[in-house]
Structure 1
Amino acid sequence: MAAPARRAVLFDLGGVLLTPGLQHFLSSCESEWALPRNFLRDALFSGGSQSPYSRASRGHITLSQLLSELDSGCRRRALSLGIAIPEGFSASRPFQELRERARIQGRMLRAAGILRRNGFRTCILTNSFLDDSGSGNFPPAALRRRLRSQFQPLLESCRIGMSKPDPGIYRHALEQLQAQPQEVIFLDELEENLEPARELGMATILVRDTESALRDLQELSGIQLLGPEEPLPTPCAPGDVAHGYVSIRPGVRLHFAELGQGPVICLCHGFPESWLSWRFQIPALADAGFRVIALEMKGYGESTAPPDIPEYSQEQICKDFVTFLDKLGIPRVILVGHDWGGAVAWNMALFYPERLRAVASLNTPYRPADPSVDIMEKLESHPAFDYQFYFQEPGVAEAELEKDVGRTLKILIRSSSREDRLPGGLDMSRVREKGGLLVGFPENPPGSRLLPPPELEYYIQQFRKSGFRGALNWYRNIRANWEWALRARHRKPSLPALLVTAGKDPVLAPALSHGMERWVPRLQWRHIQDCGHWTQLERPAEVNRILLEWLEQLPPDPPFPGNSKL
């Protein structure tokens, strides 16, 4: 007898439809507070069915009671481990960040819609709490209404009196769906929640990232869910924009590309890139009514690349940027940066806030300089920054990266998608041990999705002009940058601010941004889960949406004279 056809899909909420989930914020808070791994999770789940988490998710206690018990449990656990609870610790913090930072996973929501149109029932099965915290229900009422309109039923553990992984809640879900286990697919971010469902006979998917989960869901459901990817925005080519050059002082000249008219927005790229890395954003921002200036940073392409290391300190870079604005007659700009460009954006907001209308950063977080720990020791404690130590000796990294510029760029600038990854991946944590950044990769790697042949050739030409020394010199000012930043460690950038994090960035991980709202009071935070380091190239449509929505919310800039043109 043939097994029943699958006709229903159960979705977890946090970590599946809303990302990141609670587990992410528990881990990131542990990292920020330098707590042992799983410290918060163990305190939350300690006691099995009588743990604070289990009792709250069954509705036996409220969220505020859970937080009180979690706080007490953390203090007992710290005492037993012989460690101190860090200053600023709050048991409510991971839950608060979940409420503020989790975002609907649009691709998963779209897949659920496709399934419904093909006759599937879609249902949410989530562990939830009776929220009496006074901070607003989670999920918020508007999102709850949206979910109820698309998922029937919406099964919340605290209202059922059972929680995952209790087998009873899965039987309850089957009754609500009027389905046999073999007819149901269940997606969750925790393996322990999937095991009882499998034992009942459901097909299960462990959600580690949306793309892989959708691929598995497509295979199990037999419904085409991935289809054509979202169309790329219209890019610009070097010949589509005006080009300008500003002499900063003898021996230093900055090149920029420009498009559009209106309030000025300046785009600053990172390493190892080009102004052309903003090719998908420049037309979209110009069409939205902005004068877009994409700066080619010092040391790159047609901007000059002086050999002296101090030329690339953040202090000097920001002084040069102020001169750049002065010579173009621009009083204030909206400044958007990525990677090192993001560092420039935050430092301009700290030291020259009068020259900015607002500030945005892709991937690069802001943290005030810490005088208690030497900056090089701090970097050594983060394995992902090992490559920056490899970059310190002048001439070493230059020789490797300049040997075959095309190979260098095809290895470094790749998307996080499975199809675009090179075997072994780029491990930034063992560069000195391996003896180089590109060691172990093929001599002629396949092309990158992010650098089609015309763009790759343009990048190659630009790096042949400038070499890599200037670009690498940015990394040779770590101590100088830290000492400069210490002067501003008590300041808080008060401008409207935006941070966009990427879930698969191997270096600038989202966890590094946690707690930023304490230092940047007007911060808005957006997260793109299925994205690596090259955010504006890998997810250009989503980046454009995020930027344009944020820009629409900015207060109007008073008119000013002298908005010069090329």
Structure 2
Amino acid sequence: MNGVRLHIAEQGDGPLVVLLHGFPESWHSWHRQFGPLTEAGFRVVAPDQRGYGRSDRPDDVDAYSILHLVGDVVGLIQALGEEKAYVVGHDWGAPVAWHTALLRPDMVLGVAGLSVPPPFRGTQPPLAAMDKRFGGRFYWNYFNRTGVADAEFARDVRTTLRKFFSSASGSASETGEVKQPLIEPGQGWLASMPDPEVLPEWFTEDDLDALTESFSEGFTGALNWYRNLDRNWELTAPWHGAVVSRPALYIYGDRDLVPAFPGTPELIERLPALMPSLWREPLKLPGCGHWTQQERPDEVNAALIEFLRAGA
């Protein structure tokens, strides 16, 4: 299947729903969606995407382009014996879902993205743009340095993940202020993240155990996704100006750092006009941070089920 083997979690019968996780996560990030979606009459499949968990981890950085990632979804749908599916993604999984709908609309019944809005290709490579805007301090540029973030995050996997999930949670900020994820010169990304004594209410020690195990072989495969950002910009040139035409849903938290990236708030405001296929106006979850479907499973599940049933 597209040259890689993917580990999946699967449950239920009915129209296929593929759930795509983000960084630094695994299929487990969707465990609160399996029961409600299967009870609503859907067949739910969540893979560990390439470079993650128990799925294959190609050595070549170039093997993590958006075309490879979309190819994995296409191959997965076909390997499951289906011709079409609903595709839902969070964080990095959202661009994969959006691009699957953009590049293969014939295979997508509907698409939903959490945290990351639909793709509208910019006029310059994203790594270069962020490097210029923030003087190399933006986390994408830090991740792009071969072996650097890999070593920092692998030094103590459990602590790395505990810091990530706590600091980007909606409960991390009493004021709701969202700051740009910048790394100060000479420091790693974890340096500015507090190590919490207590995990967020929605994130248990069992969740942390499962996630820690999934990164037992390190973070390089996952980080290679970021190292293809400029290459993805080049590869998607034929679709510049193209718009996702399949029925679409977008959900995000008002304390999520991603929707606060430069230019993104303005894009979200314009989405209903830019995307006629948008099923409803973007659903903003008050007090929700980056880990949308884990922090607010009830609201996310309700919105997904309503969306999926509308097209089933």
TM-score in same-fold range (> 0.5): yes
Within 5 Å, give how 1:115-514 maps onto structure 2. 247-249=1-3, 252-371=4-123, 373-380=124-131, 386-414=138-166, 416-418=169-171, 420=172, 428-433=180-185, 435-441=187-193, 445-464=197-216, 466-509=217-260, 511=265, 512-514=267-269
Separation in structure 1 between the aligned mates of residue 100 and residue 208 of structure 2, nearest angstrom? 31
Separation in structure 2 between the aligned mates of residue 345 and residue 440 of structure 1, nearest angstrom? 31
Unaligned runs of 5+ in 1: 1-246, 557-566
State the Cα distance separating 1:400 from its structure 2 match: 0.5
CA contact (8 A) 2:169 2:200 kept: no
Separation in structure 1 between the aligned mates of residue 116 and residue 179 of structure 2, nearest angstrom? 19
Separation in structure 2 between the aligned mates of residue 322 and residue 385 of structure 1, nearest angstrom? 35
Within 5 Å, give how 1:13-162 maps onto structure 2. none
Deviations 1:108-166 (A, max 9, x none): xxxxxxxxxxxxxxxxxxxxxxxxxxxxxxxxxxxxxxxxxxxxxxxxxxxxxxxxxxx
Name the aligned partner's letter for residue 331 of structure 1.
Answer: E
Separation in structure 2 between the aligned mates of residue 285 and residue 471 of structure 1, nearest angstrom? 27
CA contact (8 A) 1:428 1:437 kept: no
State the Cα distance separating 1:324 from its structure 2 match: 1.9
Determine helix, strand or coil for the equivalent of 1:359.
strand
State the Cα distance separating 1:421 from its structure 2 match: 5.8
Determine helix, strand or coil for the equivalent of 1:280.
helix
Determine helix, strand or coil for the equivalent of 1:254.
coil
Name the aligned partner's letter for residue 109 of structure 2.
Answer: R
Q: 2:296 aligns with which of 534, 539, 558?
A: 539
Name the aligned partner's letter for residue 550 of structure 1.
Answer: F
State the Cα distance separating 1:332 from its structure 2 match: 0.4
Mark the CA change 1:329 to 1:447 in structure 2 (over 3 Å): closer, same or farther: same
Separation in structure 2 between the aligned mates of residue 403 and residue 278 of structure 1, nearest angstrom? 26
Mark the CA change 1:417 to 1:347 in structure 2 (over 3 Å): closer, same or farther: closer
Separation in structure 2 between the aligned mates of residue 403 and residue 421 of structure 1, nearest angstrom? 27
CA contact (8 A) 1:410 1:445 kept: no
State the Cα distance separating 1:330 from its structure 2 match: 1.2
CA contact (8 A) 2:114 2:292 kept: yes
Separation in structure 2 between the aligned mates of residue 507 and residue 397 of structure 1, nearest angstrom? 19
State the Cα distance separating 1:356 from its structure 2 match: 0.4
CA contact (8 A) 2:253 2:288 kept: yes
CA contact (8 A) 1:370 1:486 kept: no
State the Cα distance separating 1:304 from its structure 2 match: 1.0
Deviations 1:77-114 (A, max 9, x none): xxxxxxxxxxxxxxxxxxxxxxxxxxxxxxxxxxxxxx
Mark the CA change 1:390 to 1:428 in structure 2 (over 3 Å): closer, same or farther: farther
Determine helix, strand or coil for the equivalent of 1:542.
helix
Determine helix, strand or coil for the equivalent of 2:150.
helix
Separation in structure 2 between the aligned mates of residue 433 and residue 321 of structure 1, nearest angstrom? 38
Name the aligned partner's letter for residue 499 of structure 1.
Answer: Y
State the Cα distance separating 1:294 from its structure 2 match: 0.8
CA contact (8 A) 1:410 1:446 kept: no
State the Cα distance separating 1:360 from its structure 2 match: 0.3
Separation in structure 2 between the aligned mates of residue 442 and residue 379 of structure 1, nearest angstrom? 25
CA contact (8 A) 2:121 2:241 kept: no
CA contact (8 A) 1:386 1:432 kept: no
Separation in structure 1 between the aligned mates of residue 192 and residue 284 of structure 2, nearest angstrom? 32
State the Cα distance separating 1:516 from its structure 2 match: 2.2
Deviations 1:189-248 (A, max 9, x none): xxxxxxxxxxxxxxxxxxxxxxxxxxxxxxxxxxxxxxxxxxxxxxxxxxxxxxxxxx54
RMSD of the TM alignment (CA)? 2.3
Separation in structure 2 between the aligned mates of residue 338 and residue 394 of structure 1, nearest angstrom? 25
Report the count of equivalent residues. Answer: 302
Report % sequence identity: 37
2:305 aligned residue: 548
Q: Which has the larger radius of gyration?
A: 1
Structure possessing the higher relative contact order (Cα contacts under 8 Å, 6 or more residues apart): 2
State the Cα distance separating 1:444 from its structure 2 match: 7.2
CA contact (8 A) 1:390 1:431 kept: yes
Determine helix, strand or coil for the equivalent of 1:286.
helix
Separation in structure 2 between the aligned mates of residue 483 and residue 393 of structure 1, nearest angstrom? 20
CA contact (8 A) 2:2 2:68 kept: no
Mark the CA change 1:377 to 1:440 in structure 2 (over 3 Å): closer, same or farther: closer
Segment drifting more, 435-444 vs 494-503: 435-444
Determine helix, strand or coil for the equivalent of 1:430.
coil
CA contact (8 A) 1:387 1:432 kept: no
Unaligned runs of 5+ in 2: none
2:271 aligned residue: 516
State the Cα distance separating 1:538 from its structure 2 match: 0.7
Q: 2:285 aligns with which of 525, 528, 534?
A: 528
Determine helix, strand or coil for the equivalent of 2:127.
helix
State the Cα distance separating 1:302 from its structure 2 match: 0.4
Name the aligned partner's letter for residue 69 of structure 2.
Answer: I
Separation in structure 1 between the aligned mates of residue 137 and residue 268 of structure 2, nearest angstrom? 16
State the Cα distance separating 1:320 from its structure 2 match: 2.2
Mark the CA change 1:381 to 1:253 in structure 2 (over 3 Å): closer, same or farther: same
